[in-house]
Amino acid sequence: MWEARMEPGVIDAFAKVWGTEELLVSFDSLNVTLPNLKVARAPWPHVDQAPRKRGMHCVQGIINLSHAGPEDGSLVVIPGSHALVEEFFDTQTDSGTWEWRDNRYFNDKDMEWFRKHGLEPQRVVAEPGDLILWDSRTIHWGGEPTEKSQTIRTVIYAAYAPAKLASKEAIVEKQKVFAANGATTHWPHDNIKLRDLKAQLPNGTADPRDKSEPREKPEHTEQLLKLAGVKAY
């Protein structure tokens, strides 16, 4: 995971977006999706930014490790929705229902509003080694593979943001999560909270193979520690 997070091409892309190389990286996850192993999940359109936050606060990323064709599992986005989502919240929702939680789902009625504005979902087609970036205000979800797919979807989620955007409290929490070999949300500089992720067997019981630390620990280089928020820029 850390080798991918420290890939120069990945870091450079986010540095260009934010205009700085002094970045923090999210402690996000690896996604391996087997095709046709279970009943396909229905679309779950959402954004990963609270309605109360305006403008671009987070840019998410996928490091693509497998072929993602039209029939395969892949990211689905509503192109252009980032530019309309604030208008939607202001005109179509009650601000009293807004939460500070950086996650908001959309139902069928909500999605019809975006369709009336000319926006339609698009499945991202990508190849191994591709990097996919999107504004967290963009409506998106993980698209399920069709019955024709034989591809095991393999992706790493990684988001980067300027270190200066993180509060002192966020940095302290980030350091705690790093020390625990833990995971957080898509946000690298905010919403830092250790996720209680435990491996489970299909029957819901704890997987005895679960580990609290990686088999191969990454070398704690200066660059890694800065990206992790352990060492200041």
Is 179 part of any domain?
Answer: no
Q: 209: pLDDT confidence band, cut at 50, 70 and 90?
A: confident
Question: C-alpha angle with apex 229: 225 to 233, nearest 5 degrees?
Answer: 80
Is 122 part of any domain?
Answer: yes
In the block, residue with structure tokens 């996850």? 29
pLDDT at 196 over 80: no
Is 192 part of any domain?
Answer: no
Q: 233: pLDDT confidence band, cut at 50, 70 and 90?
A: very high
Is 224 part of any domain?
Answer: no
Residue 95 belongs to a domain with what CATH number?
Answer: 2.60.120.620
pLDDT digits (tens, 9 = 90+) for 65-106: 999 999 999 999 999 999 999 999 999 999 888 888 899 999
Is 219 part of any domain?
Answer: no
Is 205 part of any domain?
Answer: no
Query: Which domain, by its residues, includes 118?
Result: 29-157
Among residues of the chain, what percentage have pLDDT more than 70?
A: 100
Is 119 part of any domain?
Answer: yes
pLDDT digits (tens, 9 = 90+) for 132-178: 999 999 999 999 999 999 999 999 999 999 999 999 999 999 999 99
Average pLDDT, the chain: 93
**Structural domains in the chain (count):** 1
Residue 221's pLDDT is: 97
pLDDT at 216 over 90: no
Q: 211: pLDDT confidence band, cut at 50, 70 and 90?
A: confident
Cβ-based neighbours of 132, under 8 Å, separated by 6 or more = 61, 62, 64, 75, 124, 126
Half-sphere exposure (Cβ direction) of 66: Cα atoms closer than 13 Å: 21
Residue 210's pLDDT is: 82
Residue 161's pLDDT is: 98
Residue 75's pLDDT is: 96
Is 178 part of any domain?
Answer: no
